[in-house]
Amino acid sequence: MPAIPRVLPGPDEIGAEVAALIVHRYRRRAPGRQFLLGCPGGRSLASTYAHLARLSAAAELDLSDLVVVMMDEYVEPTDAGFRAVDPMLAHSCRRFGRKEIVEPLNEGRPADRRIGPDRLWLPDPADPSAYEDRIAAAGGVDLFLLASGAGDGHVAFNPPGTDAAARTRVVALPDSTRRDNLATFPTFDGRLDAVPRHGVTVGVATIRERSAEVVMVLHGVDKRRAAERVTGATAYDPEWPATVVVECRKPHLYLDRAAAACPASAVSS
């Protein structure tokens, strides 16, 4: 069903509210059950991750049941198929998950209350379908955080034209997605040829069918077109894969004033 957009002043306010929602859902998890949090890399959820680290620390949460489920990873071709890029590279999603999500959340916590090293999950390009099985065996993703590509509406690495039934797989990245990622990773130095041409990604069916609840975050002037496409959608549009949010269970859509192109008086209270 379409999500009613909630418009807040800026990314910091969005991050604070989404982080509070994550903490609330985590606290309500079934006793002894892992809580799977689906996470994108990149800029869109940066304020959410920062607020989540502060809020969970202030609440002294035991995070040992939290599993960080990354959406995708850059890969490179080899003679035997594909392999993930070096996890030390700035654009590696494994590096992002470790440095930008897990380590800030674990900082200052006793070892038995931290996210364990086996609780950072990424799809394996050598066996993408195993990611589907792993998520399903854990009971699905409790809360999936989403973002949309500014230029082409990609979600995770699902490019325009993605079939609604697509699941975890290796995909060729179109130039439109690679251009979006130039702004995400300054280490590419503005060079399109520096951006990998392939990635392994969850599919739009993975997001739609394996998540109990989803949150999409769009902020900044560059996400205005994405906001228009997502808020105007009533069903999944393969030409703008981020519209999968409207077919997910319990969708939430957060925009800032710049993305929503609205005056301050229209901001949600």
Residues 6+ apart with CB under 8 A from 159: 152, 171, 172, 173, 174, 176, 177, 241
At 182-197, the pLDDT tens digits run 888 888 999 999 999 9
How does pLDDT run across 93-126, given as a tens digit for each residue? 999 999 999 999 999 999 999 999 999 999 999 9
- The per-residue pLDDT for 269 is 46
- Please give the pLDDT value at position 109: 95
Residue 103 forms part of a structural domain: yes
Higher pLDDT, 58 or 186: 58
User: Does residue 221 sit within a domain?
Assistant: yes
| Residue 258 falls inside a structural domain | no
Expressed as residue numbers, the domain containing 204 is: 5-241
Residue 95 lies in a domain: yes
Q: Domain containing 59 — which CATH number? A: 3.40.50.1360
Tell me the percentage of the chain whose pLDDT exceeds 90.
90
Residue 141's closest CA among 203, 99, 83, 91?
203
Give percent of the chain above pLDDT 70.
96
Residue 224 has pLDDT above 70, yes or no: yes
* Residue whose entry in the numeric block shows the structure tokens 């209270």: 269
Residue 52: which of 14, 8, 92 has the closest Cα?
Answer: 14
Domain annotation covers residue 268: no
Among 87, 2, 86, 8, residue whose Cα is nearest residue 51: 8
Strands 120-121 and 198-201: unpaired
Question: How many independent structural domains does the chain possess?
Answer: 1
Q: What band does 252 get if pLDDT is binned at 50, 70 and 90?
A: very high
Question: Per the domain annotation, does 260 fall within a domain?
Answer: no
| Model confidence pLDDT, tens digit, residues 20-51 | 999 999 999 988 899 999 999 989 999 999 99
